[in-house]
Chain A
Amino acid sequence: MTAISIKHVSKRYGDFVAVDDVNLEIADGEFMVLVGPSGSGKSTLLRMIVGLEDISDGDLLFGDQRVNDRAPRDRDLAMVFQDYALYPHLTVYENIAFPLRLHKVAGDEVDKRVRSVADRLELTEFLDRKPANLSGGQRQRVAMGRAVIRDAHAFLFDEPLSNLDAKLRVQVRTQIARLQNQLGTTTVYVTHDQVEAMTLGDRVALLRRGVLQQVGSPRDLYAKPSNLFVAGFMGSPPMNLLPAEIRPDHLSSPFGDIPFDAARLPASLAGKDVVIVGIRPEQLVDASLLDDDQRGRGARLKGRIDVLEWLGNEQLAYLPFKAPDAIHQQLTDLQKELDSESDQTQLIVALPDASKAHEGAEIELWLDPGDLHLFDPATTENVTLGQKATG
């Protein structure tokens, strides 16, 4: 069991910088998720940890030992590849036993350990099969078995769930979490799926184009995103981002005015006209469900519902809006980067089943201005963070 220290690590391919000056401390026994869209450098970073890619700059330490120049074989790490990389010509038994056979472990010791691992992962009945005769989920477990059997210093997972269908993904996800809890091994887990990041990680590191955006617990990234990208990435449906004009005592959004004391705005926004307002879908409430007293105490917005999706336990309402050109460009650029297909800006509201909203109708929404995040359009930073911490 070891702590992993990533200090000022960069990876360059010629002119292209895949990983840019990343600093990350992973504690012993911690489950750290590296998350980000494709091209964010998360897989590259993982491969540098395991030694399959060279580190262009910076230091990688296991405990207090610098391991930059160590071959993968000498790093004592276990890895689960995205396509599992099971040896097709070996049975499940031999696949799991492979690391032990390399180290010339005695036959009955191998047998004991393989069967124990197989038992834990419910693979005992498949031990004689070859990978080609296994389902996706079973192959996954064999890959984990091969990783687990070695008692390595750390486990590395490279998008292990992306080849599984949705239902299976949830099942295997819980298995991984359970396994890590039982073994307590330091784990670095790479995924592009923010749901996996939130459910599995002790801490989450969000990367974008090789640059670390924010590190923290899933709750931190969700409730206190440090910039527009983090805000838009974490959470599904994603955080709403609205342009709002700054007035002396309110913010003017496409759906109405939100009372806000301009004096509370940080100095960096002084003299600016527009700010980007962030509010989560679940923080917008159907005003008709509130009693008058509550309604009076927040901000009220009005808009027309374009599409309403009923999901059983809740409903999602989509309210399109028009943004001023420059902001529109910025927001659609961000959506593209977050791999979203949408080409229009819209407000998403999470309504309870009880809400009587319907498509095409106007709806009045209530929000607590204290829940707002404000983002500087120029720097994309979340300027309300400091206030939230104290306010």
Chain B
Amino acid sequence: MSALARASATQTRRLPGEKPHLSERAKAERRLGWLLSAPSVAVLLLVAAYPILNAAYLSLFDYRLTDPGTRAFIWFKNYRVILTDNIWWSDLGTTLLITVVTVTAEFAIGFAFAMVMNKTFVGRGAIRTAILVPYAIITVVAAYAWQYAFANNTGFVDHWLGTNLDWFGARWSALFVICLSEIWKTTPFVALLLLAGLAQVPGSLKEAAVVDGASWWQRLLRVTLPNMQGAIMVALLFRTVDAFRIFDNPFVMTGGSNGTETVSILAYRQTIGRTEIGLGSAMSILLFLGVSLICFIFIKLLRTDVGRVTDS
């Protein structure tokens, strides 16, 4: 080791036997930090953690609200019932289908929107206002709008297309409209996120690619998208989780009938419709686990960097 290196190695020595000691100021800062964060964490625990734990507890019971006398502890029988029932799997399939279709469409269309908005300078404010409306509008209102548009009697779609379909009477046409409504509502949000990510790609990178002779498509694939990867993955994670939890649109449009029921609606039906608290709670827990699995896949397996949000 050179003399300089040796000399510098002694700079970071620890004084023997000394514990890192905190000054009064640092201690006070810690206390204040905990004090200020405590209300938030407490509220979160109360309004979210507690109900989930409660649901987990209730899921172990055979409990029908309208017949409380027969409430009984049955371990995991509810789960077995659910997981061996065709309806559960069919609904899960429906949910996953909707998830895949809507998320894919939202990102494809959203990206196109983002690129348009990126190049638009005049009237940017107007466009932003316009696309915020679907984001801000109540989902139920959107559901009614789309429903009435496609409804046989009140709607104009059949008239325009010259068809006479009972859109909500069959599974695939109903799912089509549900997905349309969902895509319409959330694409703007995705577009905004992607636009922000797009704006972050340094112009100099794109210019360097142009000079190197890359075509528009190549620039998109090799320069723009890779540099947006972080933002895209985070947006994907949240949209996927949201889509998996879908409730409002199918509930309003079809009530979940004709093969359009999603797992959220199923859980609702059990708990509120049939007042099967035990079963409904078990489904809630399964739903919760499903969402957790999605998060796990994204964060651990696909290495989505959520740290960008949580860390300084």
Contact = CB atoms under 8 A, between A and B. Distances in A.
B36 interface: no
Interface string B1-40: 0111101100111110000100101100000000000000
Given A16-B12, A20-B11, A210-B11, A333 B20 contact: no
Of A326, A333, A377, most buried by chain B (CB within 10 Å of CB) is: A333
Contact of A17 (B3, B13, B23): B13
Contacts, number: 38
A16 B23 CA distance: 16
B8 A209 contact: yes
B3 A15 contact: no
Interface string A41-59: 0000000000000100000
Interface string A256-288: 000000000000000000000000000000000
A20 B12 CA distance: 9
B70 to A, nearest CB: 61
A337 B11 contact: no
A211 interface: yes
Contacts of B25: 54
Interface size class of B (residues with CB under 8 A): 10 to 19
A211 B11 contact: yes
Contacts of A14: 20
Nearest to B21: A56
Contacts of A209: 8, 11
Contacts of B12: 15-17
Contact of A380 (B7, B13, B23, B26): B7
Nearest to A57: B15
A179 interface: no
Given A12-B20, A54-B23, A378 B3 contact: yes
A294 interface: no
A334 B25 CA distance: 37
A20 B11 CA distance: 8
Interface in A217-236: 228-229
Contacts of B8: 209, 337
Interface in A316-368: 326, 329-330, 333-334, 337
A210 B8 CA distance: 10
Interface in A163-212: 209-211
A12 B5 CA distance: 21
A390 interface: no
A379 interface: yes
A333 B4 contact: yes
B2 A329 contact: yes
Contacts of A20: 11
Nearest to B4: A333
Contacts of A12: 15, 20
A238 to B, nearest CB: 15
A365 B167 CA distance: 95
A330 B11 contact: no
A20 B10 CA distance: 11
A20 B7 CA distance: 13
Contacts of A380: 3-4, 7
Nearest to B6: A378
Contacts of A330: 2-5
Interface in A27-83: 54
Contacts of B4: 228-229, 330, 333-334, 337, 380
A21 to B, nearest CB: 11
A376 to B, nearest CB: 8
A169 to B, nearest CB: 25
Contacts of B3: 330, 377-380
B222 to A, nearest CB: 30
A284 to B, nearest CB: 24
A279 B26 CA distance: 48
A326 B6 CA distance: 13
Nearest to B15: A12
Contact of A333 (B2, B11, B13, B14): B2
Interface of A: 12, 14-17, 20, 54, 209-211, 228-229, 326, 329-330, 333-334, 337, 377-380
19 contacts: A12-B15, A14-B20, A15-B12, A15-B14, A16-B12, A17-B12, A54-B25, A54-B26, A209-B8, A326-B2, A330-B3, A330-B4, A330-B5, A333-B2, A333-B4, A334-B4, A337-B4, A379-B3, A380-B3
Given A334-B4, A337-B8, 19 more contacts: A12-B15, A12-B20, A14-B20, A15-B12, A15-B20, A16-B12, A17-B12, A20-B11, A209-B11, A210-B11, A211-B11, A228-B4, A330-B2, A330-B3, A330-B4, A377-B3, A380-B3, A380-B4, A380-B7
The 6 closest A-B pairs by CB, nearest first: A330-B2, A54-B23, A209-B11, A14-B20, A15-B14, A329-B2
